[in-house]
Structures are given as C-alpha cells and as structure tokens.
Structure 1
C-alpha cells in the first residue's frame, strides 16, 4: 500500500464487514514526540481472543470469498518497520479498536496520504453509517462527524456527491490550517 490512508480504508472496510454502524477514526500527528498514531474503533460484532491472536497471520481470514487476509498483517509490518506497532482490542458484541503507531520521522514510514478523500470515499459507499473523524497535530485538533451533517442538512446530505466533495475540501482545509499552527 502506497500510503497510510490505504491502510485506513482497509481497516475501516473490516469494520463495515463486521456489521458496524459507527466507525471512529483518529489521526494524531505528534512531531515533537516523533509519533504518528492512527486509531480505528467500531461498534461491530467484535472478535474472540483467538481471532485477534490470529490476525497477524495472512492465511487467516473470516471471508469465504478468498483464503488470505493481507490487510492487518501489512499494517503490522508497516508499523513495525517504521518503529511502531499495532494493538488490537476486541470482544464479541463489543466492537473492535485497532491502534497503529509509527515513528513520525522514520524514513520507512509511508506518508499519511489523503485521509480526507479516504474518509469521503467510505462515507459515499456507506451513507447509512455514522463516521467520526478526529485529527490532531501537536496540540491543535479538528473533529468531523457525519451525524452533525445529517442533523444540519438532513439524512440525504451524505448521499449527495456535491455535499461530500465540499466536506472533503473542508476537512483538507482544516488539516492544512492545523498543520500550519
């Protein structure tokens, strides 16, 4: 995967496949601590301890359409090669939390990529779901939630591509402004 936003899409897709109705994505860029942290939490069906322990195995997958599941093993490899790691917490009926850390300045860390676009592609593909995005750079923060969009503009707003494109640009602008501060 070329950048970390591709890993985000993959893990969020796992959340969707697990029946989640809400996904929370947090991205924390902390150059002073030399740390990039990505957290994806969902309210899906969750996993047993055995399932969680097997996630690093590329030949373990819950899918019936293929016999391999490379998403989580690739994320683990990417995190570890850049001085970080991945922690997965889950329980049946309680959802799943995936926390990936990366050495911020590590030469082997892929770029973050276009997180705003990744988020909007996911929202456009699953407008019935709620998505929360929390972004932090140093001490500056920004939050976005699709439930706020629905509350202000109505339920169909997240189905409107013009609205989604405007939201994507708003998220990009906010990230850009926060990085300047």
Structure 2
C-alpha cells in the first residue's frame, strides 16, 4: 500500500469484521528519536492462538470470499523495509492489538497519506466507538466518539 493511512484503514476494517465496538488508533511520531509508531487496538472477537502464529502469512485468512489476506503481510513488509517491526497480539473474546514501528525518516517509509479521510470514515460508523490520538513530539491531538456522543 502506498500510504500508512491505507494500512490503518485495512486493519480497522478487520476490527469491524471482528465485531469490535471500540477501536483505538494511536499514531506517535517521535522525530527526535526517529520513530513512527502506529497502534490499532480493538475489543473484537480476537484471533485464535493457532492462527495468530501465522497471521502475517499472505495465504492465511479467516475470510471465506478469498484465500489470501495481504493487509498485515504488506504492513509487516513495510515496517521491516524501514528498520522496524510489526507485532500482533490478541486474545479470543477480548480483542486484538497491532503495533507497527518504523524509522520515521527512512527513505522507503510511505507517507502518512490522507489520514483525515481514514479517520472521518471511521467516525461515520455510528455503531462503533473510535478513539484517535496523534502525537507529534509531544503535541497531541485526540478525539473520542464516546465523548462526542455524550452531547
């Protein structure tokens, strides 16, 4: 994928398909330490342990409509190409967390892309609560739909 925002959207779609009711997206750009960290956490169905071990294999998917799942494998490849890593942790019935870390200024790091469009797309789903946090060197932007729904 050409943009990090598209990787995020792909994982959010996985969370929605896993019946998540809360999805948290955290982006941390630490330019001083030259790190970009993207964390997506949900409270969906979770991933069974046997499937979790091979979750970044492009030929492992829970979908019944096709036999490949490229999203996580492509994101992992992007992280590795940028001196980073991708970590997926999950517990059945509790949810899943995807953490992607990469060198912020790496020449192969894709641009953030249209993150605002990704976030707006998330916010338009009234059935799911979203928390979005973007931290750039300590300057924080955050939105939580649970807070908005109070009004």
- TM-score, reference length from structure 1: 0.81
**Structure 1 counterpart SS, 2:44:** coil
Q: Kindly indicate which of the two structures has a greater share of residues assigned to helix.
A: 1
Q: Identify unmatched segments of 5+ residues in structure 2.
A: none
Q: Kindly indicate which of the two structures has a greater share of residues assigned to strand.
A: 2
2:140 alignment partner in structure 1: 141
2:12 alignment partner in structure 1: 12
Whole-Å separation in 2 of the counterparts to 1:122 and 1:41: 14
Whole-Å separation in 2 of the counterparts to 1:145 and 1:25: 10
Runs (4 or more) in structure 1 with deviation over 6 Å come to none
Whole-Å separation in 2 of the counterparts to 1:146 and 1:94: 20
Q: Identify unmatched segments of 5+ residues in structure 1.
A: 153-181
Q: Return the index of the structure with the highest Cα Rg.
A: 1
Whole-Å separation in 2 of the counterparts to 1:77 and 1:42: 22
- TM-score, reference length from structure 2: 0.97
**Structure 2 counterpart SS, 1:151:** coil
Say which structure, 1 or 2, has more relative contact order (CA 8 Å, 6+ apart). 2
- Post-superposition offset of 1:123: 2.4
